[in-house]
């Protein structure tokens, strides 16, 4: 097995330009998917939380998207979108599917967060003369933020993993390293893709935790109180 | 001929229902793989979750490690295992897919089991000890039944993910319904891909339904009325509290 060692460092130094390009594409695909997913999911979550009648269709739609295998969704969308199986149009295929996967996670967590808002807080807002919309923007959503951030963390990690699968429609970011290694039965590129994906997910998670601390400064005090109980 | 007509033709064509690449065989192979994966993950993930949950020590470390594990791309694990000569051809490609998908199924089961064990009211646990139950008895008679719905929520999440992701196994070594999807993708045959996707959807739906019934069966009767709320959700682990 001299030809295929577990890891060959010279591959990384020799192919660094390519690896860097794949990494950048991975980050782009992830950022766009999570950003669009958030913009779509939060209003849908608020609507289905406020109007119960919307809950079944919204959750049904998001759950269906979530259950469809990623590979199948890429295949189906690629057939619908003209030229959707190969770059550059497979970008749309990939992003539509990736956004689809974030929806259930983000909607579910946002609704859970809104449901967890203490009724005291809402009653206090009403007593202070807040309209429903003002209460939503200034009381309910801020108090739901810890749940929304939890959803963002899960969604981001999920998307980073799924992006690799888009290698089968000519994209893939770090997935390119994985399929390349598989095609020529060479461990090193696969491990490069694996390690960098995990590293990317870890860094993204740390950034989101940091963002949460800035956005929800009161949650740390709250956590201390909960542990002390 | 419209797309739907061609899809109907595909499903009604007798040739697609027979032989080693027929629907029944590939459906069965995917179900076999998924069941093996989830049972293995239940033993490993559930076991670790129970130990940490029962002792109450080191659990956060385990849950965080499990969450970090979620970031491992299944495609990387599948391909890496599938190109190892000692693993690739074992059991007709089953082994590589089994190991890779089990790694995917462990985190949700572990996390939910741990959370379920910790959700058991400390007063209830103390009361059980006070009436003279040993540690093992507390686990079997008090903690396990109360945690069961959580464990099952984890099993359900993991099962749906595994059924969906096992299509990727067809890319590396193990033919199942993913074979339709990947052949369709490679030949730009949308009908074939969509047919494969629909069949996987059917399996996911059946699995979710079956597990829903099983969850009800293993939940202590007084807790069943609360079940609908919890089971109805999507990804069971919001992790907001950890």
Model confidence pLDDT, tens digit, residues A138-160: 899 999 999 999 999 989 988 99
A contacts of B71 (beta carbons < 8 Å): 157, 160-161, 197-198, 201-202
CA A210 to chain CA mean position, Å: 17
Question: Does residue B217 fall inside a structural domain?
Answer: yes
Q: How far apart are CA B57 and CA A158, in angstroms?
A: 28
Sorted by sequence, the CB contacts under 8 Å of residue A193 that are 6+ apart come out as A22, A164, A174, A175, A176, A177, A178, A181, B73, B76
Residue A109 to residue B75, Cβ atoms within 8 A = no
pLDDT for B234: 41
Residue at token pair 């967590």: A109
In a domain, B72, yes or no: yes
Rounded Cα gap, residues A55 and A78, in angstroms: 29
B240: nearest CB among A67, A107, A147: A147
Q: Which tokens go with B1?
A: 């001929």
Q: Does A104 touch chain B (CB under 8 A)?
A: yes
Smallest Cα distance from B47 to chain A, Å = 23
Q: What is the pTM of this model?
A: 0.81
Distance of residue A185 Cα from the nearest chain B Cα, in angstroms: 6
CA B40 from centroid of its chain's CA atoms? 10
Residues A189 and A175 sit within 8 Å (Cβ to Cβ): no
A86 contact B CB<8A:
no
- The number of C-alpha atoms within 13 Å of A126 and in the hemisphere containing its C-beta is 6
pLDDT attached to residue A72: 78
Q: Determine the structural domain holding residue B104 and report its residue range.
A: 23-232
Domains of chain A, with CATH numbers? 12-223 (1.10.3720.10)
| Cβ atoms of B211 and B155 closer than 8 Å | yes
Residue B12 domain flag? no
Residue A219 pLDDT grade (very low, low, confident, very high; cuts 50, 70, 90): low
CA–CA separation, B133 and B141 (whole Å)? 9
What is the nearest CA distance from B222 to chain A, expressed in angstroms? 24
Q: What is the CATH number of the domain that holds B45?
A: 1.10.3720.10
Closest-CA distance, A130 to chain B, in angstroms, reads 27
Q: Are A144 and A136 in contact (CB under 8 A)?
A: no
* Chain A: closest CA distance from residue B108 (Å): 12
Residues 6 or more apart whose CB falls under 8 angstroms from that of B14 comprise: none
Mean pLDDT of successive 10-residue stretches along chain B, which has 242 residues: 85 85 90 94 91 80 76 88 81 88 90 85 83 82 83 88 89 88 85 88 88 84 63 38 31
In this structure, is residue B110 part of a structural domain?
yes
Q: What is the mean pLDDT of residues A53-72?
A: 85
Residue B80 lies in a domain: yes
Q: Give the separation between CA A2 and CA B196, rounded to whole angstroms.
A: 40
User: Is A2 near chain B, with CB under 8 Å?
Assistant: no
CA-CA-CA-CA torsion for A219, A220, A224, A227, nearest 10 degrees? 60
Has residue B86 been placed in a domain? yes
In a domain, B56, yes or no: yes
pLDDT digits (tens, 9 = 90+) for A86-127: 778 888 989 999 999 999 999 999 999 999 898 898 889 989
Q: Do A190 and B79 touch (CB under 8 A)?
A: yes
A199: distance to nearest CA of chain B, Å?
A: 9
Q: Which helix (H) or strand (E) holds B85?
A: helix B85-88
- Cβ contact (<8 Å) for B193 and A146? no
With contacts defined as CB-CB under 8 Å, which chain A residues touch B196?
A: 72, 75
Contact B178 A69 (CB under 8 A): yes
ipTM of the complex as predicted: 0.79
Contacts of B68 in chain A (CB under 8 A): 198, 201-202
Say how far apart CA B107 and CA A103 lie, in whole Å. 21
Residue A19 has pLDDT above 90, yes or no: yes
Closest residue in B to A163 (Cα–Cα):
B73
Q: Which residue of A has its CA nearest to B160?
A: A67
- Cβ-nearest to B76 among A108, A186, A194: A194
C-alpha distances (whole Å) from B111 to each of A204, B30, B123, B153 are 21, 25, 23, 10
Place of tokens 């000569």: B85
Closest CA to A169 of A82, A34, A71: A71
State how far the Cα of A28 lies from the Cα of A43, in Å rounded to an integer.
24
Chain-centre distance of CA B7, in angstroms?
29
Does A100 contact B at CB distance below 8 Å? no
Closest Cβ opposite residue B76 in set A66, A113, A178: A178
**Is B240–A185 a contact, with Cβ atoms under 8 angstroms apart?**
no
Q: Is A175 on the interface with B (CB under 8 A)?
A: yes
Question: What's the sign of the alpha-carbon dihedral A131, A136, A137, A143?
Answer: positive
Question: Smallest CA–CA separation between B86 and chain A, in Å?
Answer: 11
**Triad A186, A188, A189: Cα angle to 5°:** 85
Residues 6+ apart with CB under 8 A from B122: none
In a domain, B82, yes or no: yes
- CB proximity A69 to B under 8 Å: yes
How many residues belong to chain B?
242
Our count of domains for chain B comes to: 1
Interface membership of A106 toward B (CB under 8 Å): no
Higher pLDDT, A44 or B129: A44
CA dist A107 and A45 (Å) reads 5
Q: Which residues of A touch B193 (CB under 8 A)?
A: 72, 75-76, 79
| Helix segments in chain A, DSSP class H | 9-14, 16-50, 55-67, 70-80, 90-115, 119-127, 132-135, 141-163, 175-183, 187-215, 218-228
């Amino acid at each position: 097995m001299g030809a295929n060692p577990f890891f060959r460092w010279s591959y990384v130094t020799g192919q660094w330009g390519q690896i860097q390009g794949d990494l950048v594409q991975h980050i782009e695909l992830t950022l766009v998917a999570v950003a669009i997913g958030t913009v779509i999911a939060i209003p849908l979550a608020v609507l289905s939380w406020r109007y119960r009648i919307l809950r079944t269709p919204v959750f049904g739609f998001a759950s269906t998207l979530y259950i469809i295998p990623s590979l199948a969704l890429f295949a189906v969308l690629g057939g619908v979108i003209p030229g959707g199986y190969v770059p550059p149009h497979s970008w749309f295929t990939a992003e539509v599917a990736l956004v689809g996967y974030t929806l259930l996670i983000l909607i579910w967590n946002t609704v859970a967060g809104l449901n967890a808002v203490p009724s005291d807080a809402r009653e206090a807002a009403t007593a202070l003369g807040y309209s429903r919309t003002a209460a939503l923007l200034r009381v309910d959503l801020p108090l739901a933020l810890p749940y929304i951030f939890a959803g963002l963390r899960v969604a981001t990690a999920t998307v980073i993993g799924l992006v690799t699968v888009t290698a089968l429609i000519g994209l893939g970011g770090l997935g390119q390293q994985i399929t390349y290694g598989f095609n020529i039965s060479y461990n090193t590129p696969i491990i490069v893709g694996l390690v960098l994906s995990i590293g990317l997910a870890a860094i993204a998670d740390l950034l989101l935790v940091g963002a949460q601390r800035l956005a929800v400064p009161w949650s740390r005090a709250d956590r201390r109180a909960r542990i002390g109980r | 001929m419209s797309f739907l007509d061609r899809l109907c033709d595909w499903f009604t064509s007798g040739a697609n229902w027979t032989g080693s690449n027929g629907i029944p065989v590939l459906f069965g192979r995917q179900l076999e793989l998924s069941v093996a994966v989830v049972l293995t993950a239940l033993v490993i993930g559930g076991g670790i979750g129970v130990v940490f949950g029962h002792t109450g020590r080191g659990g956060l470390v385990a849950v965080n490690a499990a969450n970090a594990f979620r970031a491992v791309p299944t495609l990387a694990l599948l391909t890496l295992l599938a190109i190892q000569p000692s693993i690739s051809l074992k059991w007709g490609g089953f082994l590589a897919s089994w190991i890779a998908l089990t790694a995917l199924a462990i985190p949700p089961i572990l996390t939910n089991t741990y959370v379920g064990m910790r959700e058991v009211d400390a007063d209830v646990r103390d009361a059980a000890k006070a009436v003279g139950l040993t540690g093992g008895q507390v686990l079997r008679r008090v903690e396990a039944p109360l945690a069961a719905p959580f464990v099952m929520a984890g099993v359900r999440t993991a099962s749906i993910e595994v059924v969906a992701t096992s299509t990727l196994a067809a890319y590396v070594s193990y033919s199942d319904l993913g074979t339709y999807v990947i052949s369709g993708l490679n030949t730009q045959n949308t009908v074939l891909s969509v047919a494969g996707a629909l069949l996987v959807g059917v399996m996911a739906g059946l699995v979710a339904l079956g597990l829903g019934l099983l969850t009800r069966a293993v939940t202590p009767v007084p807790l069943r009325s609360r079940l609908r709320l919890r089971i109805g959700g999507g990804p069971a682990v919001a992790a907001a509290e950890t």
